[in-house]
Homo-oligomer: A and B are copies of this chain.
């Protein structure tokens, strides 16, 4: 798990700094600063309240040291690990004020990223043994794509393209305007750079055959039921990557995966995964 591709500080520190400014406002933590003496020291533990997968733990804890570099953070769990309820994720020690003031910013980001990792991890478990990959989409939170895509990887999933410039994905709207799958694919192939893959979304087996004939790198089977998926897998016969999409949840992921598709793409992982419940327990020292 230590080999996850981790976002760089130049990517996540501006997000944390902006989030701290957003929460501190123009007056700072008026509660903590009124109630706690400046020299009060605490020890604090970051603890799960439910089982899940961890992502963005060290990244989120950077909020504490960005606020005050005297805070010491001991991260106890690696991103990608499965945890149980009441596991200690990290131990903090240092001045009470910044630890309490940064708590919400750290937990907000951590809860979201661990929530995504947990949703992903559950789906990866569900399809275990089928060889199918669980993949997220571009349905991410504005400003957080790099981190949310990372959380999916931490949960054992893979990423779809990172943005509109990452690969060609021809969808129904494109096909409608272009005048057909063949027309769209011809234009794409003429325009596209040599390290860019082309995928096309198809809704019927006829469209699938049209796409295969025109030449593609991958096909996205949109909203097909298991029977049609199996037929599609048979038609493709290993020639291109097959991605299933649309309405895939924990309940049907295994069934879809067993149809023989290579990739299950799941928008829900990033746009609707509930946050993982994580708390900070503080004690004076």
Contact = CB atoms under 8 A, between A and B. Distances in A.
Interface of A: 2-11, 15-40, 42, 66-68, 96, 98, 100-101, 103-105, 107-109, 111-112, 115, 133, 135, 138-146, 149, 158-171, 173-174, 176-178, 184, 187-188, 190-197, 199, 217-218, 241, 243, 262-263, 268, 271-275, 280-284
A258 to B, nearest CB: 18
Contact of A135 (B32, B112, B162, B194): B194
B5 A163 contact: no
A253 to B, nearest CB: 17
Contact of A25 (B33, B162, B271): B162
Q: A interface, by DSSP: helix, strand, loop or mixed? A: mixed
Contacts of A100: 173-174
Contacts of A188: 31, 34-35
Contact of A193 (B98, B160, B177): B160
8 contacts: A3-B33, A18-B142, A22-B143, A27-B159, A36-B177, A115-B271, A167-B196, A194-B241
